Structure 1
Amino acid sequence: MVNEKGVIAAGHPETVKSAELILKKGGNAFDAVIAAQFTAFVTEPVLTSLGGGGFMMAQTTGSKPTLYDFFVQTPGQKKNPDDLKFHPISADFGEVQQEYHIGPGSAAIPGMVKGLFEVHNDLCSLPMKVLVERAVELARNGVIMNSFQSGVFDIIRPIYRTSEGANRIFKSLEQEGDLIREGERLKQPELADTIEDLARYGAAYFYKGEIATIISEICSEQGGHLTAADLKRYSVVKRRPARFMYRGHEVFINPPPASGGILIAFALKLLESVVKKIPVRGSLEYIDLLAQIQHMTNKARMDAFLDDPSSDPVGYLLDPEYLDQYKKMVRDRAAFYRGTTQISIADGEGNLASLTSSNGEGSGVMIPGTGIMLNNMLGEQDLNPGGFHQWTPDQRVSSMMAPGILNMPDGTNVVFGSGGSNRIRTAILQFLINLVDYEMALDESVNAPRLHFESGQLNAEKGFNLEHFQALEQQYTNQKIWKKKALFFGGVHAVSIGPKGFSGAGDVRRGGVSVIC
């Protein structure tokens, strides 16, 4: 590793390239992740935005990890639903449809800008102006739309076609009435100017300046909750990660109030208690066991996060006696009962960064003159399982996003995270099982076929033996076998550093790319 600066895995070649160039300039993993994230706003505009939020797991050499929580916050005051502009659209994943709500009334307080500047202040070595240079260049001069990103636009077409501001920026110049297509050049000059201004003036430009005023006016006039006071009081929270052991491997992951990390921990501890040795991967027993573990994890989510939100979910879910209840359900087969992107980086000094971010599907509300679309987190059913408009004011929105670090007994450190809405927890669960139980290589662990069981439906990617699903028809009457790997099943981008050097893997489901530089 003498001549190697680090390893990057992310969802777009240009996102990875920006991080690579920063590492080669002498920047650390945190400089690189900031540069990559600003580039992702340009190259992956549906999946991430300055109008959204995220989390970053950071570990500096020789220290314990810290979780930066800059996810969205609920507004300080709640308007009457009748006064909101809040309406449903259907996202088309090709083989399944999912409903989301958009409009000004779906936007929560964005945390992304403040989060990136807090990370920069704490951990970075290069000026912000240097870190955003390439993102500004790509936004101004344009980036060629690839097949995956064009496909993402197809999924959420109703949002971008019905929004005049979004349609102006993202419309196809070659096919009238369509959104930008593969091979076309996407230019975002307003976004370029905004990023430059942010680098010049800092986070206050977004939270206390002109942008905050514009957001407040839009919501006041068009039926949204956000106010200038909401933006002014937003703060980043640095949290102690949730830590647990799984078969001798140490895992640090996003803690509550985010739910994804602790649910992954619950699933792995339940699996560890149910079987000493996991069944052969892809076998009938494997499919049945994994579906049951996922089912019980979803039930535990309802019990711990909805029925008693004031409880301590870490101690509650990982308590041995509590796990025993679910272990018995799995063994006895008792009652049966969505846009995100990921950047993972390790540098040659041993610094580790995992950043998961999201704009939901986007609210359709463009902040005039900025190139920024606000999030629709208050319109995400996955984030509002208790029902829309039931949220508590001035509170962090819970999330499935679960950036994490796995420390293996041989000294290898694995940095991971995933996009995929409610499928994040099952994508990461299976990734970790592949690494630990099956001792699969990083790339194979990321790209092996996945299952997702929820709300009585068993979804499975191409690659499993179909006869096993036929044999399980009585237990799982609602089955959907996908014809190919799909972004529905998440998008794990992961890197590792250890005795054997660097390794990286990008998830093919989400256009993943990995580079060792």
Structure 2
Amino acid sequence: MSSPKPNRGAIAAGHALTAEAGAEMLRQGGNAFDAAIAAAFTACVTESSLTSLAGGGFLLAHTATGENRLFDFFCQTPKSKAIGRSPHFYPIHANFGDTVQEFHIGLGSMAVPGALAGLLHVHQKLGRLPLATIVAPAQRWATEGTLVDPFRAYCFQILAPILTATADARAIYAPEGKLLAVGDRFYLSDFAAFLNDLVHDGTDLLCQGDLAKAIVQACQAQGGYLGLGDLQAYRVIERDPLAMPYGSATLLTNPPPSSGGTLIAFALQLLAQASLASVTPGSPRHVEILRTVMNLTNRARQQGYDEHLYRGDVATEFLSPAHLRAYTEVLQQSLAQGANKWGSTTHISVVDGEGNAASLTTSNGEGSAYIIPGTGIMMNNMLGEEDLNPQGFHQWPADRRLSSMMAPTLVLQDGKPRLMLGSGGSNRIRTAILQVVSNVLDFGMDIDAAVQAPRLHWERGELHLEPGYDRETIEAQGIAGDDHCTWWQDQNMFFGGVHAVAVGADGTVAGVGDWRRGGAWVVVGE
């Protein structure tokens, strides 16, 4: 039997081995979805402090036949809070050097995971290669080990209180009594064995069978919310993407009940009113426009936005022309007047030569510190994420898909993929994606320049700016108003990690892995 014909394409991801795993699927004749899924499994090894099969995520798919579909496999809240004891839920403090951030971990921070269910679901619906082929790169690197690079070591240091909180976590991240550092090798042998079981079983082993029972027993004994019914009832949800025209292009992104995609769409609608054609990218005027748009987007969110998400009327109410007009007036008035968080998330973008495209974002929160026995898999801490629990901890509504800022995004031109992108970075996800999309569509930048350009982020009266902006002019013109400004000395993972792939008008493909988060990219067959 002849071997499958290689598929050309490109993939961008958060680690060179993650990207290479996806590229290998294309070389073996797989499609963009095979590549994205293989990369996601591999990222659980190469980017284990950012993602996990016991976390959650979203995959936005555009098929060669023109179908657009959002696969929602983010985490779900448990069905009940009745656990008969105090939840195992406690704060840790992560030291970033210039600031310390509090996170909450423990078994009481664990929501129902969806990542594994989602990857298996997409593979069954859209994949082409056997599952054994898909997981092979992840098994290889889990067994052979990967070299800890400076970015990975930085992540380990920040999350040290989580990665060393339990004996099982220490066995992985501090096997000789001290945290792994640059130049050490990181192994995940139990994960390789788990993947072997997965191939033979073919079902979500984290929500069914003995592993699910082990998770539940640990929760019952130590104070977690998850019950067997929570795990067994989990389902991947297929949604229509949120679609919005922008100039001659169409933007597709994550729809409600997740929030990030809708906020990006709203911000782009505002940008369209700001006459960017006469603005120089990175100029003080550009800073003024972006700051104002981010300010208004945050203001809109405070004014009932989250209620729209779960009522299902975002498109008809929040994104309606009448609502937009009200904010456009404020935007134009503001411009006429002339006036810190971690985010354990990673992203994969893929396009193939057949016209399939995938944008996949996954996260484990920061991790709960609980390792599922015999798997090397850390459970998520989504119930301990402040951003995901706006009403306060332990106040979550039961049995509901959590709302996320994650926003895998595609830009179509004449119905065909032009740009695939997404980002990690908690609340900075939407501003990072917004700026890269605008750099490409409004300023005509190529994908490399668009991702590497300096970014800013505004939130709650704090304006953060990467180097590259004209500080003297911005301060002299009072553009920041009453904001407290942080002028970063270097580009930083704080501003997200946009791993993107682009298709040119002539069909050539290009990728870029955002170095802010150790990104890499591979082009196959060009």
Where on the TM-score scale, by shorter chain, does this alignment land: which range? over 0.9
Alignment equivalent of 2:484, drawn from 464, 478, 482: 478
Equivalent residue letter for 2:360: L
Equivalent residue letter for 2:222: Q
Q: What is aligned with 1:489?
A: 495
Relative distance call for 1:58 and 1:81 in structure 2 (3 A) is farther
Q: Distance in 1 between matches of 2:124 and 2:255?
A: 23
Equivalent residue letter for 1:69: D
Relative distance call for 1:147 and 1:427 in structure 2 (3 A) is same
Q: What is aligned with 2:329?
A: 328
**Distance apart, 1:64 and its partner CA:** 2.2
Q: Distance in 2 between matches of 1:301 and 1:207?
A: 34
**Distance apart, 1:82 and its partner CA:** 6.8
Secondary structure of 1:89's counterpart equals strand
Alignment of 1:410-425 (within 5 A): 413-425=418-430
Alignment equivalent of 1:512, drawn from 503, 506, 519: 519
Q: Distance in 1 between matches of 2:293 and 2:99?
A: 23
**Distance apart, 1:3 and its partner CA:** 8.1
Q: What is aligned with 1:67?
A: 70
Relative distance call for 1:482 and 1:314 in structure 2 (3 A) is same
Deviations 1:304-344 (A, max 9, x none): 433554251222221111012212222333999x2000011
Q: What is aligned with 2:173?
A: 170
Q: Does 1:395 align with 2:406?
A: no
Equivalent residue letter for 1:466: R
Q: Distance in 1 between matches of 2:417 and 2:229?
A: 45
Q: What is aligned with 1:441?
A: 446
Q: What is aligned with 2:302?
A: 302
Q: Is the 8 A contact 2:405 2:429 kept in 1?
A: yes
Secondary structure of 1:132's counterpart equals helix
Q: Distance in 2 between matches of 1:66 and 1:219?
A: 35
Q: Distance in 2 between matches of 1:97 and 1:312?
A: 38
Alignment of 1:53-132 (within 5 A): 53-79=56-82, 83-132=86-135
Q: Distance in 2 between matches of 1:140 and 1:474?
A: 51
Q: Distance in 1 between matches of 2:482 and 2:6?
A: 52
Alignment of 1:498-509 (within 5 A): 498-500=504-506, 501-509=508-516
Equivalent residue letter for 1:371: G
Q: What is aligned with 2:469?
A: 464
Q: Is the 8 A contact 1:93 1:488 kept in 2?
A: no
Q: Is the 8 A contact 2:216 2:226 kept in 1?
A: yes
Relative distance call for 1:73 and 1:502 in structure 2 (3 A) is same
Q: Distance in 2 between matches of 1:82 and 1:286?
A: 53
Q: Is the 8 A contact 1:407 1:414 kept in 2?
A: yes
Equivalent residue letter for 1:317: F
Q: Does 1:49 align with 2:52?
A: yes
Q: Distance in 2 between matches of 1:347 and 1:171?
A: 39
Q: Is the 8 A contact 1:198 1:206 kept in 2?
A: no
Shifted more, 91-100 versus 30-39: the winner is 91-100
Q: What is aligned with 1:156?
A: 159
Q: Is the 8 A contact 1:67 1:239 kept in 2?
A: yes
Equivalent residue letter for 1:266: F
Q: Is the 8 A contact 1:49 1:358 kept in 2?
A: yes
**Distance apart, 1:80 and its partner CA:** 7.0
Q: Does 1:451 align with 2:453?
A: no
Secondary structure of 1:362's counterpart equals coil
Q: What is aligned with 2:280?
A: 280
Q: Is the 8 A contact 1:263 1:425 kept in 2?
A: yes
Q: Is the 8 A contact 1:304 1:311 kept in 2?
A: no
TM-score, normalising length: structure 1: 0.95
Secondary structure of 2:458's counterpart equals strand
Deviations 1:47-84 (A, max 9, x none): 00011010001111022210000000000112479711
Alignment equivalent of 1:40, drawn from 38, 43, 55: 43
Alignment equivalent of 1:369, drawn from 342, 353, 374: 374
Secondary structure of 2:111's counterpart equals coil
Alignment of 1:193-208 (within 5 A): 193-208=193-208
TM-score, normalising length: structure 2: 0.93
Q: Distance in 1 between matches of 2:500 and 2:84?
A: 41
Q: Distance in 2 between matches of 1:296 and 1:172?
A: 48
The alignment-based identity, stated in percent, is 44
Q: Is the 8 A contact 1:304 1:313 kept in 2?
A: no
Q: Is the 8 A contact 1:401 1:418 kept in 2?
A: yes
Equivalent residue letter for 1:326: Y
Q: Distance in 2 between matches of 1:198 and 1:477?
A: 51
Relative distance call for 1:347 and 1:85 in structure 2 (3 A) is same
Q: Distance in 2 between matches of 1:272 and 1:81?
A: 53
Structure 2, unaligned runs of 5 or more: none
**Distance apart, 1:116 and its partner CA:** 0.7
Structure 1, unaligned runs of 5 or more: none
Deviations 1:91-142 (A, max 9, x none): 3334443322111111100001110111111011111011111211111121
Deviations 1:350-391 (A, max 9, x none): 110111000000011111211111101111111122222221
Relative distance call for 1:94 and 1:324 in structure 2 (3 A) is farther
Alignment of 1:213-224 (within 5 A): 213-224=213-224
Relative distance call for 1:485 and 1:172 in structure 2 (3 A) is farther
Q: Distance in 2 between matches of 1:389 and 1:107?
A: 11
Relative distance call for 1:224 and 1:305 in structure 2 (3 A) is farther
Q: What is aligned with 2:21?
A: 18
**Distance apart, 1:280 and its partner CA:** 1.6
Relative distance call for 1:473 and 1:417 in structure 2 (3 A) is closer
Relative distance call for 1:306 and 1:499 in structure 2 (3 A) is closer
Deviations 1:456-493 (A, max 9, x none): 10011112111134233761331111111111111111
Shifted more, 83-92 versus 67-76: the winner is 83-92
